[in-house]
Amino acid sequence: MAIESYVEDILKSPEVTFRKIVSKIVQKSDKSAKMELVRQYTEVDEVLFSAIKSILGDLELEESIVSQFVYRYFNIEIVKSRKREQLIILGIELKTKYSKLEREQSRLDIHILNLTLSLDNLKRLRDAFDKNRDSLQIDKEINKNEAFMKKLHGIIDELSEYLDALRQKSLKLSETERLYLNLYKQIPRYYELQEESIFSLLAHPKEQKRFSWS
């Protein structure tokens, strides 16, 4: 059955039916979007970045090319380096923050998708009311049709603003994520680093306190 046929039934039903349909279409995507927009998102940790870049620069100056090559590809330290130990600790912190960024982006993508689907369905319903307008002859149904269209226009405009704001937030988060990933990959043997956990914090409380830059 065409959606226009449903519109005719909606117009003949109590207004509460229309409100329930709209509520089902929106599925709280508007409330989720509002919550996401007020939620603080991860920004670049300038202190952590400066510390890692500083150690990377020092290691490049202090170590020979051979020493760097042997460590990077064979995990062998020709000369034991305290700075390399610091870099590992800071690298773990960086990986942990990067993983948090990925989770934030994933959550944001879900909100954007839900909001997009809600908007698409609302626009289909609005267009159906618009097409149905010319076939109406009873003033009560004409007025009701116009009122419902006006209501849908308002909701669509509001959700569109949320969607634009979420996309802007996503762009900022993606840029931060890119910066974190670029720096993370500069750390020798970065792929071996593991995220922080409650167990690592308990196992090395002094080290975590000494080298925590966040």
What is the per-residue pLDDT for 93?
94
Position 2 in a domain: no
Task: Classify residue 177 by burial, with Cβ atoms within 10 Å: 0-12, 13-18, 19+.
Answer: middle
Count of structural domains, the chain: 1
The DSSP element (H or E) to which 7 belongs, if any, is helix 3-12
What is the per-residue pLDDT for 198?
37
Position 34 in a domain: yes
Position 137 in a domain: yes
Residue with tokens 């020709």: 78
Residue with tokens 């009560």: 140
Position 6 in a domain: no
DSSP tag of 186: T
Q: For residue 174, what are its two tokens? A: 């993606």
Query: 158 is in which domain, residue-wise?
Result: 28-211
Position 177 in a domain: yes
Position 117 in a domain: yes
Is the pTM value of this prediction over 0.85? no
What is the per-residue pLDDT for 137?
75
What is the per-residue pLDDT for 205?
45
Residue 191 has pLDDT above 70, yes or no: yes
- Tens of pLDDT, residues 44-102: 999 999 999 999 988 887 676 766 666 676 565 656 778 888 898 999 999 999 999 99
Q: How far is CA 155 from CA 120, 152, 179, 196, in A?
A: 12, 5, 36, 43
Position 23 in a domain: no
- Tens of pLDDT, residues 146-187: 999 999 999 999 999 999 999 999 999 999 999 999 999 998
Position 18 in a domain: no
Q: For residue 200, what are its two tokens? A: 């690592």
Residue 2 has pLDDT above 60, yes or no: no
Buried b (16+ CB within 10 A) or exposed e, 153-164: eebbeebeebbe
Please give the full DSSP string across 122-177, using - where no structure is assigned: HHHHHHHHHHHGGG--SHHHHHHHHHHHHHHHHHHHHHHHHHHHHHHHHHHHHHHH
Give the confidence band of 202 by pLDDT, cuts at 50, 70, 90: very low
- Tens of pLDDT, residues 121-150: 999 999 999 988 777 778 788 889 999 999
Q: Tell me how far apart the alpha carbons of residues 150 and 137 are, in angstroms, rounded to a whole number.
A: 19
Q: Tell me how far apart the alpha carbons of residues 122 and 198 are, in angstroms, rounded to a whole number.
A: 46
Q: Tell me how far apart the alpha carbons of residues 14 and 209 are, in angstroms, rounded to a whole number.
A: 64
Residue with tokens 């269209």: 149
